[in-house]
Amino acid sequence: MSRRILITGGASGLGAALAAAFSARGDRVLVTDIGAEAPAQLPAGASYLKLDVTSQEDWDAARDHVAAEFGGLDILVNNAGVAAGGRIEYLDLEEWRWITEINLFGVVRGCRTFTPMFKEQGSGHLVNTASMAGLVHPPAMSSYNAVKAAVVAVSETLRFELHPFGIDVSVICPSYFRTNLASSLRGTDPLMDGTAKKLINKSKIGAEEIAAIVVRGVDKRQPLILTDKPGRRAYWAKRLLRPLYDRQMLDFGTKLRRGAEQAARATSGAGRPAPGAGTEKNHTKEAP
């Protein structure tokens, strides 16, 4: 049976892979993203709508569009998000506000906007993209870890809150996978750019494989969708082997310090960026 699905952040990355995977099954997919124009590779049968997840006006327009064109909605995938990282002294409060507005409040706006429709239907499925960083918390990623952990908490809360109304809630928690998210990483910490890109680029799994796992998890109405072996190992290590988890994270922090010290020696006298300093960032354009 064809389902009606709206995906935010669907123009590239995991969102585009999810749009393709759902469309290939015959579902009616509405791809949304911040760009005014539809992506060139829009899946066959899918449609496009501009949606900035920080704008309640855009969310209201999306709800009205869905009601008029689809007659309702079966699945909302809150996938739009951005990446940021860095040691705490390099993260200014504006960057915290920026990532929170998109990664957390974008999800909250989506859930608030479509929950009344789902309640009226007596059915619906909220699917929120968090991250393994929402479950395990490596160093030098405090802002990203915090907002993704909040998405996990919101999703778990809504699962219990909305169950009596026939509404399912799932949260997706992938770890690093090959995507263009690395190119959109924001932050002024010189250590993080290379570290994050290395972790993403060395991954053996891509967005298409993640999307296939997510689709199966949504079909099964899984509340927590873990998408890869490294992520599952980290999750269970934290739950069942806490001393091992702590040791791994402490070791990671030590490696980051050594990397920073090596970088400082290599650039000694060359004007190493001061904590919190950096070029002006664009806080309005969402990354895939």
Residue 249 within a domain: no
Q: How confident is the model at residue 250 (pLDDT cuts 50, 70, 90)?
A: confident
Look at residue 283 and tell me whether its pLDDT is greater than 70.
no
Residue 262: inside a domain, yes or no?
Answer: no
150-182 pLDDT per residue, tens: 999 999 999 999 999 999 999 999 987 555 565
Q: Can you read off the two tokens belonging to residue 17?
A: 């892979």
- Report if residue 260 sits inside a domain: no
What is residue 283's DSSP assignment?
-
Q: Is residue 281 part of a domain?
A: no
Domain count, the chain: 1
C-alpha to C-alpha distance for 103 and 78, rounded to whole angstroms: 9
The CATH number for 96's domain is 3.40.50.720
Q: What is the mean pLDDT of the chain?
A: 87
The domain containing residue 149 runs over which residues? 4-231
pTM of the complete model: 0.84
| Greater pLDDT, 196 or 266 | 266
Give DSSP secondary structure letters for 123-186: -EEEEEE--GGGTS--TTBHHHHHHHHHHHHHHHHHHHHHGGGTEEEEEEE--S-BSGGGGG-B
Residue 42 domain flag? yes
Whole-number Å distance between alpha carbons of 281 and 185 = 11
Mean pLDDT for the stretch of residues 223-241: 86
**How far apart are the C-alpha atoms of 18 and 238, rounded to whole Å?**
29
Evaluate whether 84 touches 95 at the Cβ level (below 8 Å): yes
Q: How far apart are CA 128 and CA 224, in angstroms?
A: 10
Query: What is the rounded (10 degree) CA torsion for 247, 249, 255, 260?
Result: -140
With respect to residue 267, please indicate whether it lies within any of the assigned structural domains: no
> Is residue 136 situated within a structural domain?
yes
> What pLDDT, on a 0 to 100 scale, did the predictor assign at position 282?
37
Task: Give catalytic residue positions.
Answer: 144
User: What contacts 187, CB < 8 A, 6 or more positions away?
Assistant: 84, 85, 86, 90, 91, 95, 193, 278
Sequence-distant (≥ 6) Cβ neighbours of residue 227 within 8 angstroms? 172, 173, 174, 175, 177, 205, 210, 213, 214
